[in-house]
Structure 1
Amino acid sequence: MEQRWDGSVVLEAGRLLFRGRLGTTHAHAHAAVQVVVVRSGTVELADRYGGRLAVSAAVIPSRATHSLHAEDAQGTVAYYDSDSHVGRALRSRFPTAPGDRVTDWTAAAVQSACPPDAPGGGRAAAAPHPAVGRAIDRVRSRLHGPVTLEEVATALHLSPSRLGHLFAEELGLPFPAYVRWVRIRRAIELVRSGATLTQAACGAGFYDSSHLTRVVHEMFGMAPSQLLRDVQWEPGPQRIRPSGPGLAGAP
């Protein structure tokens, strides 16, 4: 029987943080840098090549396909936005692309001194290249509707190919993947504020709730119904406590 996720979740600028009982995900790849720290029990990570390893800590870069299986495990999982201070620092642990094997993730964790639940660790940072910073601001201000590379590039007086190259170089992921990640974060914020899944999908710019469901499966390895089941929102900014399954694949 698969272990259910059960713990507390914090959503703040640049970071999505889970602490509690870790569960299981199917294979997925997110657009954030993920940190997993196991406090007790057993957690096994699997990569796209069939590599499997029980881990005590791991740093998983964006776009790396993986799955997680836990048995009687407690720990912390954090997702750091690719444009955050910590996200950038953690990406530097992978000097050679693509860093998509489980042994890469455990080696990166050994090099990393930043605990996933350190206060303020998720503060957002401006991208080094001014065009990327302006593009990020434009994306975030237009999540209620379509956001395309061509439209954003035109607004910044750049060619789409140039802006796409800058995103890949500065953030380590394609422009569309970044947009999907920011939309998911916005949908979670809306649900926290009392929106239904359908309302959250619309407000975050997804075509419909089915579209949101597909993207959550792709980036978290589970369905939104599992992600948000029995959620109780704690007082304070952007904080939730699920009593059922929580964020799959989260500190």
Structure 2
Amino acid sequence: MTVETWRGWCMLRPGLLLYGGTVGTNRMHAHHAVQLLASAEPFTMADAHGALLTTKIAIIPQDVRHEIREGARDTLLALLDPRSSPGRALLARFGPGDTAASWSPTVRPASAEEARPFRFGAPPSGHTRAAEATAALRTVEAWTGHTAADGARRHPAIEAAILVIPTLLPKGPVRIRTVAEAVHLSPSRLAHLFSAHVGIPLRPYVRWLRMQRAIDLVAGGQTLTAAAHSAGFTDGPHFTRVFRDTFGNTPSELAAAIDWLP
């Protein structure tokens, strides 16, 4: 049976967007995040070529187009920053590719002894969903574990650029020349190093940061329009288009169905 709606709770932490509940269908989309999807019952996904995968566990790399054809209840969905320790570790452990056949894990998750508690922040205490959030965080930690991926280091100028870019988001378009001047590189050198060290060109990376910022503001109680402007989108329709391309749904479709945890 196809589950047409999304309904559950959602929690934001640095490097992590965590969702628990009913996962419905969505449209073909891609996001700059490593995705872990685990459910008590089978769900069906499709890749950009139309190949299908029916499974209870799926791991999808960043920037890979996919869609959910048939959803499931009692599902955990985690979106991990690919630069983060758990994001890199998840990719290192399972090595998924751009085809549906590669998204079903073939390696066991880390054991409790191997798992490492990443700094996502403590779950909310006293909230009605606190126990669910705690269990979900432990599940993500168990699946990511700790590997040599944690030893990766980036160029100092790229580390500086990653700190500078968020400060530019509310001011409108983020120009590569502006970022390059801030980190004392030429635009062409910055563009090359950024793609090499972050794994994505600067422009789509900025768009992903805007999306995260807008989601955070909506979670904090702002309207979709106010969140769109505060995150640097030109207007509400622009935000909606980018959101649909990123998550396969409109922001209004998900905002009304999600209980945002603090």
TM-score range, shorter chain: 0.7 to 0.9
Change (3 A) 1:211 1:37: same
Q: Which amino acid aligns with 1:144?
A: P
What's the secondary structure of 2:87's corresponding residue?
helix
Which position in structure 1 is the counterpart of 2:203?
Answer: 176
What's the secondary structure of 2:138's corresponding residue?
coil
Whole-angstrom CA distance in 1 between matches of 2:12 and 2:157: 26
Is residue 2:236 matched to residue 1:203? no
Change (3 A) 1:116 1:164: farther
Pick which of 202-211 and 149-158 moved more. Answer: 149-158
Which position in structure 1 is the counterpart of 2:17?
Answer: 16
Q: Which amino acid aligns with 1:78?
A: A
Whole-angstrom CA distance in 1 between matches of 2:12 and 2:184: 33
Which position in structure 2 is the counterpart of 1:217?
Answer: 244
Q: Contact 1:93–1:111 (CA<8 Å) still a contact in 2?
A: no
Q: Contact 1:76–1:117 (CA<8 Å) still a contact in 2?
A: no
Which position in structure 2 is the counterpart of 1:110?
Answer: 107
Runs of 5+ in structure 2 lacking a partner?
Answer: 116-134, 145-149
TM-score by length of 2: 0.78
CA positional deviation for 1:118? 2.5
Q: Contact 1:62–1:172 (CA<8 Å) still a contact in 2?
A: no
Relative contact order, CA 8 A, sep 6+: which one is greater? 1
Whole-angstrom CA distance in 1 between matches of 2:47 and 2:139: 30
Q: Which amino acid aligns with 2:73?
A: A
Report the number of matched residues.
229
Q: Which amino acid aligns with 1:182?
A: L
Aligned counterpart in structure 1 of residue 154 of structure 2, from 111, 124, 128: 128
Q: Contact 1:10–1:17 (CA<8 Å) still a contact in 2?
A: yes
CA positional deviation for 1:230? 4.7
Q: Which amino acid aligns with 1:163?
A: L
Q: Contact 2:52–2:100 (CA<8 Å) still a contact in 1?
A: yes
Which position in structure 1 is the counterpart of 2:90?
Answer: 90
Normalized per residue, the structure richer in helix is 2
TM-score by length of 1: 0.82
Which position in structure 2 is the counterpart of 1:100?
Answer: 98
Aligned counterpart in structure 1 of residue 187 of structure 2, from 160, 177, 181: 160
Q: Contact 2:30–2:247 (CA<8 Å) still a contact in 1?
A: yes
Aligned counterpart in structure 1 of residue 214 of structure 2, from 187, 196, 201: 187
Identical residues among aligned pairs (%):
41
Q: Contact 2:6–2:257 (CA<8 Å) still a contact in 1?
A: no
Residue deviations 1:140-165 (CA, integer Å, cap 9, x gap): 11210221222111221112232222
Runs of 5+ in structure 1 lacking a partner?
Answer: 238-251
